[in-house]
Chain A
């Protein structure tokens, strides 16, 4: 993973909810570790710093299929880190109940593709608990972790990106990290955030992405996008594993003299419209990219919002239609996965078309 433009990092020494009161500190020590180890570190810290935190899900007691929960059972015991039966709806409902009693329920859905049986619990129970009880109850301590996205050969049911479904649900937060360092900071922020959060982890990067991650406890702010690369001709917005694809496209575009500004949205809802808007006002062009199918994807929301606020206003305007480079409107395919994917070349092509519009 590229470390370029790695932005501010927030560090805190004590357990608290993420909020504006956090102190920004410059990057400190860190060992190069991969993404699953960063998640693992974050979970260790979460359990260490809060005796009311629990980690559970299918096979997590043995370390999980992606090794994210390795060592947690040994360290914190079976009462706090445990396997559940294969029942996603049950896991989500149980987690909501646990969180409603003031605990931090960190539930794992083994693959984002399996989250649909739990959809009802997350959408109808978790997201609306606070609202419909007039703030008497909430499940703010709930964090649902789930690996999402392509892995090169996952096929239909181990590759999907369901983030847009959850972005349609007021009351939830949806967060997706792009790198190990981001993953650790964002996950800790999600766990400590007083709202239910769905945290999707890019499974392609679990082993692939390696970068220096501070060993201490730190959080990164939610609902704050990060400009990871400054540019002047076009704004590129993405999240998760797609960031590295966009990064490569930026490098290629630079060879043709196109200066791209790259934004990692990080939190999808509530999203940081201001950062994106400010960037588009500067560049006049926007490209959004995600792995999920283009129709109804979260890119559509970003496009519409930016068109609303940047179309012929304040003398600054969009100079080209917003480009969306996303997955195709097909089920995630087994063969021809590269055709489906929003690859670097597709992005590059769209950058050129948009800039030369």
Chain B
């Protein structure tokens, strides 16, 4: 549940960098995504077709504050997004470093506090740092979105053990792996670990066939969720025969 909403699909898909609007539309449909992310940029030409794709998708819209480097910029962007998209959901990004696109946790908490107080449903793009997570919850966030790896890097879950700790530390909080996912297997691993959703863009948009890759990610996320709910067997150091020993013939 994300702010009281039960999503039909646990993949959240970005809408940038696709080869064409038609491929974007087909990729959204093939992915089974429950949420698609969008941005706000200076008005140019061709916006009408994109708006139509958003309407036709049937997905919940999650506007982002991508590119903002200060709390003030992110807050103003959130205000503009709320009016334009008619939603109080906001993917809050406050970037701290231009090369790594790492979140600035201090400005993030500051912006989250202001926006939550104004009634926004904030989805903060954060690191796996537990104390930052706690501060975001204190600020009013009811979802946390730790990064898997730097945005667009395709490195997968760079800090698997830290993410596992985060999952255990916030058992009741919806957690979304946001950014850095490069392959369906990585998304599936995140879901098997008990994360509630995965948000990605580049891995689908930059695939040779984005529509088929969107489908692959959708299936991986579903399979990973199923596996988590079914309960994975514990890992063992030694072999344990699966075929019964009882009744085995003596042939030696």
Q: A and B from one assembly?
A: no
Which residues of B are at the interface with A, using a C-beta cutoff of 8 A? none
Which residues of A are at the interface with B, using a C-beta cutoff of 8 A? none
